[in-house]
Structure 1
Amino acid sequence: MPSNKYLSYLLNPLELLRTKKVLQVNPTVVPSREEPEAIKIFVYDFDAHDIAVRELDKVSDCFSFIDSPKVTWINVDGLRKVDVESICNHYGIHYLIIEDILSIGQRPKMDDMEGLVFCVLNMLYFNEKDSSIESEQISIVLGKNFVISFQEDAQRDVFNPLREKLKINLSKVRANKADFLFYSLIDLIVDNYFVVMEKFGEKIELLEEDILRNADTRSLAKINILRKEMIVLKRSIAPVRELVNGILRSENELIEERTEKYFKDVYDHIVQANDLCENYRDMMMNLHDLYLNNVNLKMNEVMKVMAVVTCLLAPATVIGGIFGMNFEQIPLLHNKWGFFISVALMLFIPIVMIRAFRRRGWF
């Protein structure tokens, strides 16, 4: 392997691990996730006029909300197998859905199973420090009067705007049923895709300017790094279109007809996000072509300079070769001005050649 191919790994020592994480997907192998020491469970039990927000210490404390006449959002931060199975079994969630919740690297999808609507997709974050796209798998289950969301990371999510809306009496989220809450969660995840893509686009533009100014091997390494992040972006966003379309085609009674128009809006957003991904993909290909063109242009400039220098030295080489021959009779051989005349010719002829080259626009 050429040495310049190692450069990206020298720039980022974790690049080898990152490549394996991005590209390796094997659904037949049961993955293992490092379970957190503790999980956080937040419960939002609300209707149009009243809301109760609770942070629970025990999983069993959320079981009583299954009989609540209000809409209940149970947000589980951190995935432990025992706790997830306990919650799902109590709320009548099928074993196959439990497997999908506990899986790693699950492809975004939607299932309509035993009267429940389940979807799994990725929340995306942009790491400014590493210029990388980080994903977090989230699973959402819609039941009668309840929505349960399972997150991997307890430290961050994109649901703060929804939490603020829940604090407002008679807000649209509070005034509707669980299917609108289900829509709101998916909508926030999809809207955050545009935030991530905007930052990713800024990195592409900065890299393009860098390549135009000074294309070197580091630029190629940066292109390869961004192309790997493009894979993460595309693999997370593209299947969500099918997910939302599945919700729209679902005949489950939990999705009311008046809520379908909101899912159609999410569908339009995800189509736009897919188109933007394709544009970024084309931009990455153009960046690679731009880099190669700049490298070739620099090489041509070097070759042009070397060719001009070679042409300018050719008269001196010819004159020196003629007067260096071993003939007894050579004109000006014994003339006291012979050396100066030959040197003058060696200087005069290249000057004339330079003027001729400039008139032709060769440099």
Structure 2
Amino acid sequence: MFEQSKKYFSYLFNPLDLLRTKKVLQVNPTVPAARTEPEEIKLFVYDFDAANVVTKELETVPECFGYLDTPRTTWMNVDGLRKADVEKICNHYGIHYLITEDILSIGQRPKMDEMDGIVFCLLNMLYFNEKDSSVEAEQISIVLGKNFVISFQEDAAKDVFNPLREKLKAAGSKVRQNKADFLFYSLIDMIVDNYFIVMEKLGEKIEGLEEDIVRNANTRSLSKINMLRKEMILLKRSVGPVRELVNGILRSDSELIDDRTEKYFKDVYDHIIQANDLAENYRDMMMNLHDLYLSNVNLKMNEVMKVMAVVTCLLAPATVIGGIFGMNFENMRWLHTNTTFIVAASSMVLIPLLMIRIFRKRGWF
């Protein structure tokens, strides 16, 4: 009995759920970053133009300094944020100190800044963990300068840029034919497009949960609803501000962004509006699921109460008859006749049967 109670209690109170809540909701940008620095970072450089592309994995940070003045477009991808190395790269490429702080921050709200001839944007790459049915976010910073783009990300194992790397290998691709601002757009566009993949996975989980609730709503269903609501909070917090980010790029007067590239950012803006609308729809679905769960629980309770009421009504005649003939009086008419027991027992059976027929005729059950 104790084990069964413990199992159901775990559905309602799960310490992992509390940790997830703390991770999703509690973010304080004034607290210094407490990130565990990696033992090493990985630097990948893609130096290209319309005719050629050179791909290198650099061993040390100073090796990347020579790409500042290259006539070709350079994309430098930094995997792993080690404070000393990030500061060296930022100092050499003329990236403002405040931008460097944002790159090294944790849980920063997606934003866009323009300082000292540099366009900077910070946003989250999202992934869906199938094992835990949770949304995982990785903060990524992208810096656009003259003829170069630098992307800083925390985890090399999680990346959505492989399609872009394939495009860089193709000589006729638009990325190769255009400048750094188009590469800047391509990185943001792939991050935004991946939002839809994550939301599609969440949508499948929501639809499956809806079917479970309709079939058999229980305390575990409530636990799943709460878990998915937390994932929706994380999704909304990551996707919502990106609209302002892209809008800021469109309103920017920076010379680094060509007028011909603006139409591509407008396309990203349309996508992020659609992603926001979809996130709102999913949030409404989660509220509806909660209402559906409560309705099903109340319906089950009503069914139980109806069955108990019917049983009570059916037993009432037998209780009354047994109570009358069971009274402790010496002189009771018909009490000591041969047919009294048969009549009483028959009445206890026939009256409930008649009541059942009347209840069915009225459609009560």
Amino acid at match of 1:50: N
1:126 aligns to 2:128 (yes or no):
yes
- Give the match for residue 304 of structure 1: 306
Pairwise CA RMSD: 1.3
Answer yes or no: is the 8 Å Cα contact 1:227–1:284 preserved in 2. yes
Amino acid at match of 1:203: K
- Give the match for residue 153 of structure 1: 155
In the superposition, the TM-score normalised over structure 2's length comes to: 0.97
1:336 aligns to 2:306 (yes or no):
no
Deviation, 1:155, is 1.0
Using the alignment, how far apart are the partners of 2:331 and 2:220 within structure 1? 61
Using the alignment, how far apart are the partners of 1:253 and 1:326 within structure 2? 106
Using the alignment, how far apart are the partners of 2:339 and 2:102 within structure 1? 96
Percent identity among equivalent residues?
A: 76
Answer yes or no: is the 8 Å Cα contact 1:8–1:15 preserved in 2. no
- Give the match for residue 186 of structure 1: 188
Deviation, 1:6, is 5.1
1:355 aligns to 2:357 (yes or no):
yes
Answer yes or no: is the 8 Å Cα contact 2:33–2:106 preserved in 1. yes
Amino acid at match of 1:325: M
1:34–1:69 CA distance, 2 compared to 1 (3 A): same
Amino acid at match of 1:240: V
Total equivalences in the alignment? 360
Using the alignment, how far apart are the partners of 1:23 and 1:112 within structure 2? 28
- Give the match for residue 25 of structure 1: 27
Answer yes or no: is the 8 Å Cα contact 1:211–1:291 preserved in 2. yes
- Give the match for residue 95 of structure 2: 93
Using the alignment, how far apart are the partners of 2:364 and 2:253 within structure 1? 72
- Give the match for residue 3 of structure 2: none
- Give the match for residue 211 of structure 2: 209
User: What SS does the corresponding residue of 1:156 show, helix, strand or coil?
Assistant: coil
Deviation, 1:341, is 1.3
Amino acid at match of 2:166: E
Using the alignment, how far apart are the partners of 1:5 and 1:347 within structure 2? 44
Answer yes or no: is the 8 Å Cα contact 1:123–1:136 preserved in 2. yes
Q: Which runs of 5+ in 1 are unaligned?
A: none
Deviation, 1:29, is 1.0
- Select 2:11's aligned residue among 2, 7, 24: 7
Using the alignment, how far apart are the partners of 2:13 and 2:218 within structure 1? 16
Q: Deviations over 1:146-204 (max 9, x none)?
A: 00000000112100000000000021000000000000000000000000000000000
Answer yes or no: is the 8 Å Cα contact 1:74–1:147 preserved in 2. yes
In the superposition, the TM-score normalised over structure 1's length comes to: 0.97
- Give the match for residue 145 of structure 2: 143
| Residues 213-224 of structure 1 aligned to structure 2 (within 5 Å) | 213-224=215-226
Deviation, 1:31, is 2.2
Using the alignment, how far apart are the partners of 1:164 and 1:265 within structure 2? 22
Answer yes or no: is the 8 Å Cα contact 1:124–1:135 preserved in 2. yes
Answer yes or no: is the 8 Å Cα contact 1:48–1:174 preserved in 2. yes
Answer yes or no: is the 8 Å Cα contact 2:29–2:106 preserved in 1. no
- Select 2:37's aligned residue among 27, 35, 38: 35
Using the alignment, how far apart are the partners of 2:33 and 2:81 within structure 1? 14
Deviation, 1:5, is 7.0
Q: Deviations over 1:36-56 (max 9, x none)?
A: 011110000000110000000
Deviation, 1:329, is 2.9
1:67 aligns to 2:33 (yes or no):
no
